[in-house]
Chains A and B, each alone.
Chain A
């Protein structure tokens, strides 16, 4: 420990040196023994190859990394040199000191290469990613779904009964703030990276596909065994969170290429939205810029295709072993729209399955594999509805997410060798602060906000016992507010006509309050507190809360970096037992 502290002090000093070389993987990287990673050194300026030395624990780099690196005299678009080695590997666990030198340009970084126990603790992992899931979402979902009497919840969420809890630090390599790409990438690779990046460190060159790659869990499982992989989401399947399970790119927006990468790795089950990126550009509705037809490519590769709840039901009975379910051209509609209000795009896609049914089908399919599986289930629209501060939709999404977790906890009862992890990728600045009571006197909505004792309890009912309030627009409902917002009209009510669109861009490039809500009864203009260039409420830097149950989950505790979550997963699967 003292040695590590000394090394940390030394490297921290070097970080402060201007124009020092940058090394990927970065200082204090944690690397699964035997996993493939790209090694790159970016020198501050042009250097001569004969001046470059790279040693690892005092030995030439090639001895430790298995191969020699390539020297790049001048990088594309940059007036500086680099060295690069694709798919390097370190098989022996331990601390590694990487010393890089070229003339005056020197840098030392430390890597922690870790092994795993010999024997796996878990056969299956079900990884629930609540996108943006914050404490208020859990509290709000519990209050809405279960109710409360005399200060005690009338029921428990499925996630309330998971055994182990950890606080997760979500920050990125280039900022304390973060997004869904780099955060899920940390969960799925064990390496933190920069905002918008997936499965790569963000290097200085422009090309979004040349950045130094790190191995993701799908690749690790393919390298080490025969487990199946499943991806279930309510967003586009090529959106950042599901993409992190398969992709390597600096830019999450490169969704067409992400579909290509998904096909390369062929997860056995892929369910969600986003068919537009599977269609050739000539098909109306396509968002591709090429003629690739991934519907055809996947079906030719043996996938059973489902395009609505009905055909998903049919696909679940097939024995192809692989299911591609695409239920929307873009993001799927929220459960509030799908099941209750029939707004959003439900008229165009009336038969979308929900997260619960998708989770059931995925588990049924994946559990056929005697070697086990890794399933990622994302509650995507918790985040997608929190950005525009559509709290009712976000809380309904949280209830649906929790019901999908219930499916998994039931599965684990008959499959006790299953670890269940429930975690956000990042949080939102959101709080439940009381109630809004229409029956309080007057017209001024602000005076109808019940705080402290005046909050009382909301009057949602659930007569049919489906876990959702029978009616979202009850007279005494939860008062939920964001800590940060663009200019917008606060309407104090659920958005019954479709998801909220708080702000739109004006001719000066600034987001202004969307006038469509100006005339809602009681609407009040709130002047924003974030830059005018920001379209909606932003992610919080606050820690996320991870909960987990099942074999191996006891390793989740205290404060953990998001990149440490991966280590618990691969330890449970024993992906790097000691080399014999």
Chain B
């Protein structure tokens, strides 16, 4: 199997939104490639040790007028962290972009017009596409933490916290 990645500085955008088919980020030749969740750990893991970061440690303050990042989040900006959460249903089974949520999502904001994301999501840009895993099971995601508002140029998806160059495995 040959998998070549289109190089880009920013995290590769995933198949979210109509204008962003997976083919944009990846050129897949030959058979359809599916990375089973169990294989994830075989692929590149970040070289440096990752600090564990929990959902309830993300924000120091949550108010109607906005949220304030915690000191821990600010201090880990640019470093490798591991977060445990649930993969929100993506539009396609195979993706390199997904949303990590604290609790399993019972709705799909990408699909349903009357549903919306929780406040404290983290957007995951995978190192390479991996298949969606059973939503009833938590996953551990490891990647480099990026802090601050960023708009995905391909999908228009705005995120505040991202793990980039990430990989995940089932717990």
Please report A residues at the B interface, Cβ cutoff 8 Å.
179-181, 196, 236, 239-240, 251-253, 255, 275-276, 279, 281-289, 295, 307-308, 326-330, 348-349, 388, 501-509, 511-512, 514-516, 535-536
B41 at the interface (CB under 8 A from A): no
**Could you tell me the distance between the alpha carbons of A307 and B64 in the complex, rounded to whole angstroms?**
6
**Which chain B positions have C-beta within 8 A of A329?**
62, 64, 67, 119
Chain B positions within 8 Å of A, measured between CB atoms, are 59, 62-69, 89, 93, 103-108, 112-119, 131-136, 149, 151, 156, 158, 160
- Assuming A179-B114, A285-B66, A535-B112, is B133 touching A507 (CB within 8 A)? yes
CB atoms of A536 and B114 under 8 A apart: no
| A36, B64: Cα distance in complex, Å | 36
Partner of B134, one of A276, A287, A506: A506
B119 and A330 contact, CB distance less than 8 A:
yes
| A279-B66 in contact given A330-B119, A505-B89, A507-B93 (Cβ < 8 Å) | yes
Q: How far is the CA of A281 from the CA of B66 in the complex (A)?
A: 10
- Most chain A Cβ neighbours within 10 Å, of B93, B103, B107, B117: B107
A327 to B158, CA, bound (A): 23
Are the C-beta atoms of B158 and A285 separated by less than 8 Å?
no
Contact between B151 and A501, CB atoms less than 8 A apart: no
Chain A residues near B149 (CB-CB < 8 A): 281-282, 284, 286
Known A-B contacts A287-B117, A507-B131; A281 and B158 likewise in contact (beta carbons under 8 Å): yes
In angstroms, Cα B107 to Cα A514, docked, is 12
Residues of chain B contacted by A275 (CB below 8 angstroms): 64-65
Contacts of A508 in B (CB 8 A): 93
Closest 5 CB pairs of A and B: A505-B89, A285-B67, A283-B66, A501-B106, A307-B64
Q: Is there contact, CB below 8 Å, between A284 and B69?
A: yes
By a CB distance below 8 angstroms, the chain B residues around A512 are: 135-136
Contact of B113 among A252, A289, A308 (CB under 8 A): A252
Rounded to whole angstroms, the CA-CA distance of A289 and B117 in the bound complex is 14
CB-nearest residue of chain A to B37: A507
A308 CA / B105 CA spacing, docked (Å): 28
Instruction: Report chain B residues within 8 Å CB of A328.
Output: 64
Closest to A486 in B: B106
Extra contacts, 4 of them, besides A253-B114, A501-B104 (Cβ < 8 A), are A251-B113, A279-B66, A501-B106, A506-B136
Decide: A252 and B114 in contact? CB cutoff 8 A: yes
Contact flag A504-B104 (CB < 8 Å), given A279-B65, A284-B67, A348-B62: yes
- Could you tell me the distance between the alpha carbons of A405 and B40 in the complex, rounded to whole angstroms? 56
Which B residue sits closest to A327, measured CB to CB? B64
CA of A504 to CA of B87 in the docked complex: distance in angstroms?
Answer: 11
A240 to chain B, nearest CB (A): 7
Q: How far is the CB of B149 from chain A (nearest CB, A)?
A: 5
In the assembled complex, the Cα of A536 lies from the Cα of B111 at a distance in Å of: 14
Task: Tell me, in angstroms, the Cα distance from A139 to B65 when the chains sit together.
Answer: 39
Name the A residues within 8 Å of B112 (CB-CB).
535
Assuming A326-B64, A506-B135, is B108 touching A535 (CB within 8 A)? yes
User: Known contacts being A180-B114, A285-B119, is A504 close to B64, with CB within 8 Å?
Assistant: no
User: Would you give 20 A-B contacts (Cβ < 8 Å), ordered by A?
Assistant: A179-B114, A196-B114, A253-B114, A282-B149, A285-B63, A286-B66, A286-B158, A287-B116, A287-B117, A307-B65, A504-B106, A504-B136, A506-B136, A507-B93, A507-B131, A507-B135, A509-B93, A511-B106, A514-B106, A535-B112
Q: Which of A289, A349, A503 contacts B151 (CB 8 A)?
A: A289
Taking CB atoms, residues of chain A closer than 8 Å to B59 are: 284
CB nearest neighbor in A for B135: A504
Interchain CA distance A349-B106 in the complex, whole Å: 22
A50 to B117, CA, bound (A): 50
Once bound together, how far apart are the Cα atoms of A193 and B68, in whole Å?
Answer: 41
Residues of B within 8 A of A514 (CB): 104, 106, 136
Contacts of A286 in B (CB 8 A): 66, 149, 158
Cross-chain contact A308 with B64 (CB below 8 angstroms) = yes
Q: How far is the CA of A57 from the CA of B119 in the complex (A)?
A: 54
Residue of B nearest to A253 (CB): B113
- Closest chain B CB from A345 CB (angstroms): 8
**Which A residue sits closest to B86, measured CB to CB?**
A504
* C-alpha spacing A330/B64, complex, angstroms: 9
CA distance A508 to B135 in the complex (A): 10
| With A179-B114, A284-B67, A287-B116: A507-B62 Cβ-Cβ less than 8 Å | no
Once the chains are docked, how many angstroms separate the CA of A505 from the CA of B114?
16
Which residues of the other chain, B, contact A287 by a CB distance below 8 angstroms? 116-117, 158
Q: A284-B66, A507-B132 are in contact. Are A501 and B119 (CB under 8 A)?
A: no
